Amino acid sequence: GQNIDQPTEMTATEGAIVQINCTYQTSGFNGLFWYQQHAGEAPTFLSYNVLDGLEEKGRFSSFLSRSKGYSYLLLKELQMKDSASYLCAVTDSNYQLIWGAGTKLIIKP
């Protein structure tokens, strides 16, 4: 079956750095997405990786290793507004998007 694993919940301190991991087992691979979803709101697109390596976008970076079926989202200089759920999603060989259950990130002052 197709599976995406990410931690259910993480806690970090304001100003610090946090890394949210995502491992996947899918039928083929055509890209990996990270979305942010604040409570009660719809997801917003953060990043897209299709090749191995690190993509940096401001305070957020996303890394992909296709051989390991692994990605992480790195958040630097954490702010209280970064408290949200972070969803990892993978496009399989049929271009179907497989969603992870999300990681709830709690930022403490």
Partner 1 sequence: GAVVSQHPSWVICKSGTSVKIECRSLDFQATTMFWYRQFPKQSLMLMATSNEGSKATYEQGVEKDKFLINHASLTLSTLTVTSAHPEDSSFYICSARYGFGPGPQETQYFGPGTRLLVL
Give me the least distance between CB of 17 and partner 1, in Å please.
Answer: 26
Least distance between partner 1 and beta carbon 71 (Å):
15
* 29 in Cβ contact with 90 (< 8 Å): yes
Q: How far is the CB of 15 from partner 1 (least distance, A)?
A: 28
Q: Which residues bind partner 1 (CB under 8 A)?
A: 30-31, 33, 35, 40-45, 48, 50, 87, 91, 95, 97, 99, 101-102
We find the least distance from the C-beta atom of residue 30 to partner 1, in angstroms, to be 4
Dihedral sign from CA coordinates of 27, 45, 13, 59: positive
**Residues listed for the chain:** 109
Q: Which is nearer to partner 1, 40 or 109 (CB)?
A: 40
Specify the residue, 45 or 80, whose C-beta has the smaller distance to partner 1.
Answer: 45
Which regions of 3-108 does DSSP assign to beta strands (E)? 3-5, 9-13, 18-25, 32-37, 44-49, 53-57, 60-65, 70-75, 84-91, 97-99, 103-108
Nearer to partner 1, 69 or 102 (CB): 102
